[in-house]
Amino acid sequence: MGRQPVCLRPNVVVEPLFNQWYAWTNLIAPAASAMYVANLHLKIMQSFIASPQIHVSALKNPAMLGGPFINYGLERVPDIKKLLEKTTSEQAHMLKFAEAVKTLDHTLLEESEGLSLERIYKKVPDVLKGFVELGYDLNHNPSARFIEGLLYRSPCYNTSSQSIGLSTVTRDDRSFVFSTPRLSREGYLNLQVPFSSGGIDTLFEMRHTPRAIEEVAEALQVGQNDYDLFSSFFTESPTRPAAREGSTYTGPDVRVRYYGHACLLIETEDTSILCDPVISYDTDFDIPHYALADLPEKIDYVVITHNHQDHCMFETLLQIRHKVNHVIVPKNNGGSLADPSMKLVLQSVGFKNVIEIDETESVEVPGGSITGLPFFGEHADLHIRTKLAYAINLKGNVAICAADSENLEPKLYERCTT
């Protein structure tokens, strides 16, 4: 293709990867990611190596899809062995951290007696010292609070574990992604690049802005051996417009477009608000749908309701980051192992203007406001704070984006509206 300006093909898929596993929030947050490596990834790989036929047989049953089974045939056992050895070696510090968390939990349960926990600080494992505060809840249950901001400066946050996998898609379905690491295969390119890299923004700007391929290849550090495959993801003659007619709203009222799952785009001529971005690719699917090309040139606000993989989805977020001015997320500073800060996660992967709001707090926007509302349920009765519904008020019209919030207490909504 030479220096001829080219565009990224509309059906190029990006998979954000952590240690070759499909990445989501809890694989970015340092403490949580250590626990997943030790207690999920290693165990799934060990199980596949020991009994690969069980995994193959299990996935023939549709009821088992989404379970802890690797979706490869017996011929990939040697590759999984190599990945297991690589993970055990390169992530030794993560495994040590996870074991230290287990040790500290045991110490707290065995030695706390409702009296001062000061003496137990001396027994905190070395890798955790300075990263945790010990305390009780009001029922005398001891626990550790993680100082998350410091953990992002520790070896537990290592961007060399991050990469993106590029391939093309021709249909609107993929096998379950969270239980199967990505191995090399024909047509799949894994680029070792941190999620915060500006090269990722350059890549996805090329869906609508032609550039020389050499420019983005250099930004993403594409090796010579991968150059031909990388080049195949671009075209000099896009088969579809990069931005379809109607992608920018200029009408006098409020327009709402449903992109699927919990993803809504709410717009006036002055403001665009995108909730829980999960957006399909632009291919010849049987069902008409909105895709990335239907988004406006700029998205003023992205609002995210909670930390689950299908609501804070990096596959979409990384592709639209260059369009996004602000991201609004639920406020959280609890330091719970099960409840990492979404603000810290998003900042670490390159989002600049991340705003935390609490229940009943508002952000003023042109023509209205975005207000946080309580979000009940969805998290197996755990005390998760990183969840929020939103009342989006534009030109006097109010939309409630509550995603997976459950109507556990109807009185709540009466109180919110009085």
Instruction: Give the domain ranges of the chain.
Output: 1-240, 255-416
CA 338, 326, 406, 174: dihedral to nearest 10 degrees?
-80
pLDDT of residue 285: 65
Closest CA to 148 of 16, 33, 310, 22: 33
pLDDT of residue 240: 55
Alpha-carbon distances, residue 364 vs 154, 169, 389 (angstroms): 36, 39, 16
**Maximum separation of any 2 CA atoms in the chain, in Å:** 72
pLDDT of residue 3: 73
Residue pair 342/25 in contact by the 8 Å Cβ criterion: yes
Q: What is the CATH number of domain 255-416?
A: 3.60.15.10
Report how far Cα 236 is from the mean position of its chain's Cα atoms: 31
Closest CA to 35 of 107, 95, 103, 124: 95
pLDDT of residue 241: 54
pLDDT of residue 244: 67
Q: 271-304 b/e with 16+ CB inside 10 Å = b?
A: bbbbbbbbbbbbbeeeeebbbbbbbbeebbbbbb
In order along its 418 residues, the chain shows pLDDT tens digits of: 457 899 999 889 999 999 999 999 999 999 999 999 999 999 999 999 999 999 999 999 999 988 999 999 999 999 999 999 999 999 999 999 999 999 999 999 999 988 899 999 999 999 999 999 999 988 899 999 999 999 999 999 999 999 999 999 877 778 889 999 999 999 999 999 999 999 999 999 999 889 999 999 999 999 999 999 999 999 987 655 555 667 888 899 999 999 999 999 999 999 999 999 999 888 766 677 888 989 999 999 999 999 999 999 999 999 999 999 999 999 987 788 999 999 999 999 999 999 999 999 999 999 999 999 999 989 888 889 999 999 999 999 999 999 998 888 888 877 877 6
- Cα–Cα distance for residue pair 388/258, rounded to 1 Å: 20
Q: Please state the length of the chain.
A: 418
pLDDT of residue 213: 94
**Cβ burial, residue 4 (10 Å; 0-12/13-18/19+):** exposed
pLDDT of residue 334: 75
